[in-house]
């Protein structure tokens, strides 16, 4: 059974969804139609609190259990590599691919990150183009949100990739 909590944030409405194993989805905007509302769930309340602290500049890491069931081994590896990027730093898609010992898989890394079920919590916004430019972000408001999150962390944003 999935439980969900909707709350307002600096980025607009967010819906957090959990399974019995941990957080499994963060959605910007609309509520999760597959989940039951859970206003008093301790994990969802803790996750909302940690997100508010992060978005307010008062938290750098998250201490929450995740449920990544349904993802492939490669996708999980990419998300774990993204999670290992320290606050205020970035890595390129190519660096992630090389860290996974798949140096030709930069595009596949981008595809895996595009399916990140827990944006912000798993910081895919910290992955940039090889020249440091901002590329792809499926979260609310796309690259504007990615830019805002990186600037919140003190990262100097180079540019936006056009085309």
How many whole angstroms separate alpha carbon 68 and alpha carbon 61?
18
Q: What is the pLDDT of residue 60?
A: 97
CA-wise closest residue to 28 among 125, 108, 110: 125
Q: Which stretches of the chain score pLDDT less than 50?
A: 162-163
For domain 73-152, give the fold.
Arc Repressor Mutant, subunit A (1.10.10)
Given 35, 97, 124, 134, the catalytic residue: 124
Phi, psi of 63 (to 5 degrees): -120, 70
3-state secondary structure of 154: coil
Q: What is the pLDDT of residue 163?
A: 45
Contact 109, 97 (CB under 8 A): yes
Q: What is the pLDDT of residue 37?
A: 73
pLDDT digits (tens, 9 = 90+) for 5-43: 988 999 999 999 999 999 999 999 867 666 677 778 999
Q: Domain residues of the chain, as ranges?
A: 3-55, 73-152
**Total-model pTM:** 0.90
Residue 120, both tokens = 């912000």
Q: What is the pLDDT of residue 160?
A: 56
Verify whether residue 24 is a known catalytic residue: no
Q: What is the pLDDT of residue 82?
A: 97
């Amino acid at each position: 059974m999935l439980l969900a909590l909707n709350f307002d944030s600096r980025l607009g409405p967010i819906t957090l969804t959990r399974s019995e194993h941990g957080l499994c989805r963060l959605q910007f905007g609309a509520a999760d139609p597959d989940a039951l509302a859970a206003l008093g769930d301790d994990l969802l309340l803790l996750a909302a609190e940690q997100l508010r602290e992060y978005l307010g500049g008062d938290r750098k890491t998250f201490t929450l259990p995740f449920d990544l069931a349904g993802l492939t081994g490669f996708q999980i590896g990419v998300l774990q590599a993204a999670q290992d990027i320290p606050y205020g730093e970035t890595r390129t898609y190519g660096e992630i691919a090389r860290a996974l010992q798949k140096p030709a898989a930069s595009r596949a890394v981008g595809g895996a990150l595009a399916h990140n079920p827990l944006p912000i919590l798993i910081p895919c916004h910290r992955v940039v183009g090889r020249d440091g430019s901002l590329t792809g972000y499926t979260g609310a408001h796309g690259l504007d949100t990615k830019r805002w999150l990186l600037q919140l962390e003190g990262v100097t944003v180079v540019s936006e990739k056009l085309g």
